């Protein structure tokens, strides 16, 4: 049986549109800061991608600052600002914020002062979508962009983060989106590229792929591709519920990304589940890809009120447009079978 990739929230497969754009960009030899024809050709690729990302992101009246990814974009936006966040934020945001905002059992973040706060659009582990308050300082739109309707113009945020590889672009390129007229202090100094906000010769190939991927992702969303993915996610969750009794589907009753299923299987450690499913031919994760290699309970789930033991027994299954009903049913069958074997072993030894 071929392997089944069910970890799209960690990274999405490279889109053909992005691949074509990147290969074409490899033949453009100039430095985009050079004024000769070759340099202008390279610069044109960057500016075309900037327009593509802006249109897909609903950010026509904003500045797109290309970076090496959302982590760098977060540092550029947040360093020295002293903003507040909830404990459900990605580590790249949490590293620069105080984590003081409260999170309820449904995963919703309470914001008292939007201008001094950052709130993610959607969580990478649970898929839970937030209602963004008007005037928010920043939103992490990395997981939401391309999967649900989103427009920077109506988000109410002053800044936003995005990343190419989450929507089928290349790894190692992202962007900070700034409300027009807002500025940030450059953290990488030098030649003054990206309107003086991020120096260094631009990743022309990666940026070209980002632009093409953003444009294709927006078209997929308009064509209803993620509605089909949502139906697959629902089929998966029904199969898991039918095959087990003790499992918890996190965020089942609130608004979530159409592709994300977070399952807690009491007594079965998340990392053990990941290894078991990997051997069975399925790629899943035990939380955010940036922290899944570290054996620790999800702080996102603990912020929602789950115990440390429960949070340590969670996995994330995140689907993509390439997945089929056969994929999810095969996974559900393999996972439920493995869980029952685990429970049987636990019963023989006096516990799970």
Q: How far apart are CA 17 and CA 212, in angstroms?
A: 6
Task: Convert the pLDDT of each residue in 261-274 to its tens digit.
Answer: 999 999 999 999 99
CA pair distance 337, 89, nearest whole angstrom: 33
Q: Which residue has the tokens 């199969």?
A: 239
Q: What is the mean pLDDT of residues 171-189?
A: 95
What is the pLDDT confidence band of residue 291, given thresholds at 50, 70 and 90?
Answer: low
Note if the pTM is more than 0.85. Answer: yes
Residues in the chain: 352
Query: Which pLDDT band, with edges at 50, 70 and 90, does 165 fall under?
Result: very high
Among residues 261, 290, 313, 336, which one is catalytic?
290
Give me the half-sphere count of Cα atoms (radius 13 Å) on the Cβ side of residue 242: 9
CATH architecture of 4-9+224-348: Alpha-Beta Complex (3.90)
Q: Average pLDDT over the chain, rounded to whole?
A: 94
Exposed/middle/buried for residue 29 (C-beta within 10 Å: 0-12, 13-18, 19+): exposed
Q: Which two tokens stand for residue 239?
A: 């199969």
- Quickly state the pLDDT bin for 292 (edges 50, 70, 90): very low
* Spatial CA neighbour of 185 closest among 77, 334, 294, 64: 77
Tens-digit pLDDT profile for residues 45-94: 999 999 999 999 999 989 999 999 999 999 999 999 999 999 999 999 99
Architecture of domain 16-222: 3-Layer(aba) Sandwich (3.40)
pLDDT digits (tens, 9 = 90+) for 8-40: 999 999 999 999 999 999 999 999 999 999 999
Domain range annotation of the chain: 4-9+224-348, 16-222
Q: How far is CA 167 from CA 104, 136, 143, in A?
A: 29, 24, 8
Q: Which two tokens stand for residue 78?
A: 């947040």
Q: How far apart are CA 81 and CA 299, in angstroms?
A: 23
What pLDDT is attached to residue 31?
97
pLDDT in tens, 186-232: 999 999 999 999 999 999 999 999 999 999 999 999 999 999 999 99
Rounded to an integer, what distance in angstroms lies between the CA atom of residue 167 and that of residue 257? 13
Query: Can 290 be counted among the known catalytic residues?
Result: yes
Check if the beta carbon of residue 339 is closer than 8 Å to that of residue 246. no
Q: If 0-12 CB within 10 Å is exposed, 13-18 middle and 19+ buried, where does residue 295 land? A: exposed
* CB distance 313 to 272 below 8 Å: no
């Amino acid at each position: 049986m071929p392997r089944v990739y069910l970890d799209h929230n960690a990274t999405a497969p490279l889109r053909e549109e992005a691949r074509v754009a990147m290969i074409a960009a490899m033949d453009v030899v100039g430095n985009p800061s050079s004024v000769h024809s070759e340099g202008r050709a390279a610069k044109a690729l960057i500016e075309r991608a900037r327009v593509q990302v802006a249109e897909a992101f609903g950010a026509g009246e904003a500045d797109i600052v290309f970076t090496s990814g959302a982590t760098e974009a977060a540092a550029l936006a947040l360093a020295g600002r002293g903003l507040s966040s909830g404990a459900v934020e990605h580590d790249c945001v949490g590293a620069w914020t105080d984590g003081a905002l409260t999170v309820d059992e449904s995963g919703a973040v309470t914001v008292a002062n939007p201008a001094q706060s950052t709130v993610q659009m959607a969580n990478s582990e649970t898929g839970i979508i937030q209602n963004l308050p008007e005037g928010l300082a920043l939103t992490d739109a990395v997981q939401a962009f391309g999967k649900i309707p989103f427009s920077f113009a109506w988000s109410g945020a002053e800044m936003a983060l995005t990343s190419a590889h989450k929507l089928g672009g290349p790894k190692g390129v992202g962007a900070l989106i700034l409300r027009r007229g807002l500025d940030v202090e450059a953290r990488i100094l030098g030649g003054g590229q990206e309107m003086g906000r991020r120096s260094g010769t631009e990743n022309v190939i990666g940026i070209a792929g980002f632009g093409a991927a953003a444009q294709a992702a927006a078209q997929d969303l308009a064509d209803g591709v993620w509605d089909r993915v949502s139906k697959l996610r629902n089929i998966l969750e029904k199969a898991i519920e039918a095959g087990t009794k003790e499992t918890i589907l996190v965020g089942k009753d609130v608004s979530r990304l159409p592709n994300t299923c977070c399952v807690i299987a009491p007594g079965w450690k998340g990392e053990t589940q990941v290894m078991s499913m990997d051997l069975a031919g399925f790629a899943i994760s035990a939380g955010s890809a940036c922290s899944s290699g570290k054996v620790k309970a999800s702080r996102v789930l603990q912020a929602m009120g789950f115990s440390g033991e429960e949070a340590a027994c969670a996995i994330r299954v995140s689907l993509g447009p390439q997945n089929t009903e056969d994929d999810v049913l095969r996974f559900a069958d393999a996972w439920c079978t493995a869980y029952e074997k685990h429970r049987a072993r636990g019963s023989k030894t006096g516990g799970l």
